[in-house]
């Protein structure tokens, strides 16, 4: 999806309707689809994000209301609205610190333990009054009747049209994709019908830290109900891309037998391939051949790893 580009003047005009006195927007690192700015109002720090859709913002608000806790800091969403020219905006409290991706590599070893603790807190969150599995909406309703349904829907052509991939990956690439799809379907039999909160895109630029503790977990647009090991698999999938992910994966490996790696080889392989195939599909949709090639190569690597039981 093409990134939204709203003019700062139009954003300020929308904000000042309810937050009179906002005078300056400071650009922040943007997401793949959204703009982000920091600003001050009445002595407090806030962030405003801009996106073509409100769905992700509404899930952020739901996550803040339902799951925020001392061990799981989720910034409060204070407003969701729409700019005059169409895009939506979301205002939330600004959490202190920097993202894991921006933290100096030398400081990462001190934070891998707290990161794991927050992941445990996410998995332990109460799902009372919610339903279903897989990606859920702003009312807490998952779109699948089972976790198996979410995992295997990557091979459902009614949900994932793989035709755009063929143009970028070619016949050889499609054969590799078909092989990985078949493995996901086979490995899904090892995945339990566990129903826990899953962030869905945990780590890197969605976790904030002051270098000692986790100060915020943001961007819940991809959040799921299912097996919490999926978030661990996301760390492992992206470990060769980012140092913060690699150091976190090494922490889990060093934990040896604590539930993150030992005894869960089939699930970790299944979930990593599932994550990678979705990344391949998303890259194809936006025409990003370079990142598609990386994600497909990463799937090939994962398929050869010997995850000892």
Per the annotation, the verdict on 201 as an active-site residue is: yes
Which tokens belong to 182?
A: 């078949």
Task: Select from 126, 143, 127, 99 the least CA-distant residue to 242.
Answer: 99
Q: According to the 3-state scheme, what is the secondary structure of the chain?
A: CCCCCCCHHHHHHHHCCCCCCCCCCEECCCCCCCEEEEEEECCEEEEEEEECCCHHHHHHHHHHHHHCECCECCCCEEEEEECCCCCEEEEEECCCCEEHHHCCHHHHHHCHHHHHHHHHHHHCCCCCCCECEEEECCCCEEEECCHHHHHHHHHCCCCCCCHHHHHHHHHHHHHHHHHHHHHHHHHHHHCCCCCEEECCCCCHHHEEECCCCEEEECCCCCCEEECCHHHHHHHHHCCCCCHHHHHHHHHHHHHCCCCCCCCCHHHHHHHHHHHHHHHHHHHHHHCCHHHHHHHHHHHHHHHHCCCCC
Name the residue among 203, 195, 193, 217 with its Cα closest to residue 67. 217
Q: CA quadruple 293, 189, 238, 164: dihedral positive or negative?
A: positive
Annotated active-site residue in 201, 219, 227, 231: 201
Which amino acids are annotated catalytic? 201
């Amino acid at each position: 999806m093409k990134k939204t580009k709203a003019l700062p003047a139009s954003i300020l005009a929308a904000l000042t309707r309810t937050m009179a006195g906002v005078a300056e927007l400071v650009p922040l690192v943007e997401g793949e689809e959204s703009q982000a700015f920091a600003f001050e109002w009445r002595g407090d720090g806030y962030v405003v994000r801009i996106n073509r859709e409100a769905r992700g913002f509404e899930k952020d608000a739901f996550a803040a209301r339902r799951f925020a806790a001392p061990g799981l800091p989720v910034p409060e969403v204070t407003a969701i609205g729409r700019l005059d020219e169409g895009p939506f905006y979301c205002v939330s409290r600004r959490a202190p610190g920097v993202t894991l991706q921006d933290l100096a590599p030398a400081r990462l070893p001190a934070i891998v333990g707290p990161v794991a603790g927050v992941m445990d807190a996410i998995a332990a969150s109460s799902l009372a009054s919610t339903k279903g599995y897989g990606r859920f909406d702003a009312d807490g309703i998952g779109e699948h009747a089972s976790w198996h349904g979410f995992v295997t829907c990557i091979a459902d052509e009614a949900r994932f049209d793989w035709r755009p991939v063929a143009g970028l990956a070619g016949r050889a690439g499609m054969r590799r994709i078909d092989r990985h799809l078949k493995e996901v379907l086979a490995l899904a039999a090892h995945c339990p019908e566990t129903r826990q909160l899953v962030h869905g895109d945990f780590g890197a630029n969605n976790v904030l830290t002051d270098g000692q503790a986790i100060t915020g977990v943001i961007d819940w647009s991809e959040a799921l109900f299912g097996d919490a090991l999926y978030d661990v698999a996301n760390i492992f999938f992206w470990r060769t891309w980012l140092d913060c992910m690699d150091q976190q994966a090494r922490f889990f490996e060093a934990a040896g037998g604590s539930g993150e790696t030992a005894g869960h080889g089939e699930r970790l392989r299944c979930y990593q391939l599932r994550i990678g195939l979705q990344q391949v599909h998303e890259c194809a949709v936006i025409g990003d051949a370079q990142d598609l090639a990386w994600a497909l190569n990463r799937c090939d690597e994962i398929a050869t790893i010997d995850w000892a039981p």
